[in-house]
Homo-oligomer: A and B are copies of this chain.
């Protein structure tokens, strides 16, 4: 809990790594050894049991003290009672950072053990992450917490994420990765006995690799200090916070807290909003927001939305959801309607807002053209447009194409649309919604293909229109915060 910013270089770019507690148990600490073989990081397995002389082809040390090199990063995966003893060794050894993977402390009611660990931490110079955490995922530095999570520079991205839940750390990384989002740095912070969530904010503020910071937080200890640092970064980079344990039951379940916490939570939320943080009500909203910022979708200047769809049902459904969320769905200008009417006959279609292009909208060029025309209408601030990739095989028949050809054609017109939008300097965000309309494997295959191909072109795909609506609302609130900051009101 230092006052001064910490130099995290040895944590994120370790040259030497000790894995303390590595054994033949495949789900134990040895997985950190496996995960970092052939990364260029020098790995030292450590186990006090003399029966281990070699693991994964590497010699095993009895203690970190026996290693000649200084240690940038140690992983501690010994049984919980041995953790204080392991830390004691750091009194005689340079260990810059350590991740305590071991759990069974405060979170399991063993406050005594947590106190013993804390006391020992104060006797050494090492800075700690954990206990009860997964550790670090940092592809650029080739550090990961799961051998199955690829950590190579080619999958490095711009989202940095800190989580107090190991489960949510893995879920956020995995889920968003499969939706095309890439991460800069992820920290599973666990009980945060030494380094806390707010220690990383000054670093992220200056980190050129971080474009957006995400948080999953449960407890709000040091709340004020945290939010003070949040306020320093929000004018520069967005901070998205998913707060777990919002209800009284959830809150009790998060830790050994009792009484009056729901009230505190509401106060905390108000302060967080005041500091420019973006509060996501749940995982899905957080995920959509991180995707929006990662893909650098322009912020909407206000809440006037246009919806472009094929089929009246879809158009009405989306309009209902946005209107219920407080958005305006304004009339389009006559000029806009006329321009769409030039190539789409007004049969089985409606050019009011929501725009229903009917059957003609399934012609990829017509659809993209209509979105482009709507994007020039001064009555609107953002466009939500709907493509149903699961239906590509069905539609393609009508145009005497293979489904693959139809998909590629659709993607090309959408990429051109986005590029044109950018080139012409329009600041209208375009959000692409591909709702789940079938969940058989064949339909899901088309979804994955469509989404992955668009992601490589820098266009994210959003699944659920209700979640997307909430995320756009948050993005618009953040835009207003930025304007307030710029104009000196905040």
A18 within 8 A of B: no
For chain A, what secondary structure do more than half of its interface residues adopt (helix, strand, loop), or is it mixed? helix
Given known pairs A168-B313, A312-B254, A438-B178, the reply for A245 and B320 (CB within 8 Å) is yes
A81 within 8 A of B: no
Interface residue from B248, B314, B443, B447 paired with A323 (Cβ < 8 Å): B248
Indicate if the CB atoms of B167 and A321 lie closer than 8 Å: no
Q: For A356, give the chain B residue with the smallest CB separation.
A: B253
Indicate if the CB atoms of B282 and A104 lie closer than 8 Å: no
Distance to closest chain B CB from A295 (angstroms): 16
Distance to closest chain B CB from A386 (angstroms): 11
A436 within 8 A of B: yes
Number of interface residues of A (CB under 8 A): 71
Given known pairs A246-B320, A249-B319, the reply for A178 and B313 (CB within 8 Å) is no
Q: Which residues of B contact A166 (CB under 8 A)?
A: 311, 313
Indicate if the CB atoms of A316 and B466 lie closer than 8 Å: no
Given known pairs A246-B320, A317-B244, the reply for A448 and B437 (CB within 8 Å) is no
Interface residues of A in 162-219 (CB under 8 A from B): 165-168, 171, 174-175, 177-179, 216, 218
A444 within 8 A of B: yes
| Chain A 323-338 per-residue mask, 1 if CB under 8 angstroms from chain B, else 0 | 1100001000000000
Given known pairs A247-B324, A248-B323, the reply for A346 and B108 (CB within 8 Å) is yes
In the bound complex, what is the Cα–Cα distance between A441 and B439 (angstroms)? 12
A250 within 8 A of B: yes
Q: Which residues of B contact A445 (CB under 8 A)?
A: 441
Interface residue from B104, B320, B436, B439 paired with A348 (Cβ < 8 Å): B104
| Chain A 138-181 per-residue mask, 1 if CB under 8 angstroms from chain B, else 0 | 00000000001000000000000000011110010011011100
Interface residue from B26, B244, B348 paired with A316 (Cβ < 8 Å): B244
Indicate if the CB atoms of B448 and A441 lie closer than 8 Å: yes
Indicate if the CB atoms of A312 and B350 lie closer than 8 Å: no
In the complex, which of the residues A27, A166, A313, A354 has the most CB atoms of chain B within 10 Å of its own CB atom? Answer: A313
A252 within 8 A of B: yes
Q: Which residues of B contact A441 (CB under 8 A)?
A: 444-445, 448
Q: Which residues of B contact A27 (CB under 8 A)?
A: 397-398
Q: Which residues of B contact A397 (CB under 8 A)?
A: 26-27
| Chain A 278-306 per-residue mask, 1 if CB under 8 angstroms from chain B, else 0 | 00001110000000000000000000000
Interface residue from B109, B171, B439 paired with A175 (Cβ < 8 Å): B439
Q: Which residues of B contact A348 (CB under 8 A)?
A: 103-104, 107-108
| Chain A 344-356 per-residue mask, 1 if CB under 8 angstroms from chain B, else 0 | 0011101011101
A315 within 8 A of B: yes
A260 within 8 A of B: no
Interface residues of A in 431-462 (CB under 8 A from B): 436-441, 443-445, 447-448, 451
Given known pairs A346-B108, A445-B441, the reply for A171 and B252 (CB within 8 Å) is no
Q: Which residues of B contact A443 (CB under 8 A)?
A: 178
Q: Which residues of B contact A167 (CB under 8 A)?
A: 311-314
A6 within 8 A of B: no
Q: Which residues of B contact A108 (CB under 8 A)?
A: 346-348
Indicate if the CB atoms of A250 and B323 lie closer than 8 Å: yes
Indicate if the CB atoms of B253 and A175 lie closer than 8 Å: no
Distance to closest chain B CB from A448 (angstroms): 5
A394 within 8 A of B: yes
Q: Which residues of B contact A245 (CB under 8 A)?
A: 316, 320
Contacts A/B (CB < 8 Å), 17 sampled? A104-B347, A107-B312, A168-B313, A174-B437, A177-B438, A178-B440, A216-B313, A244-B313, A245-B316, A246-B324, A248-B323, A249-B354, A250-B323, A282-B317, A282-B321, A441-B445, A444-B444
Q: Top 5 A-B pairs ranked by shortest CB distance? A: A247-B323, A165-B313, A167-B311, A167-B313, A168-B313
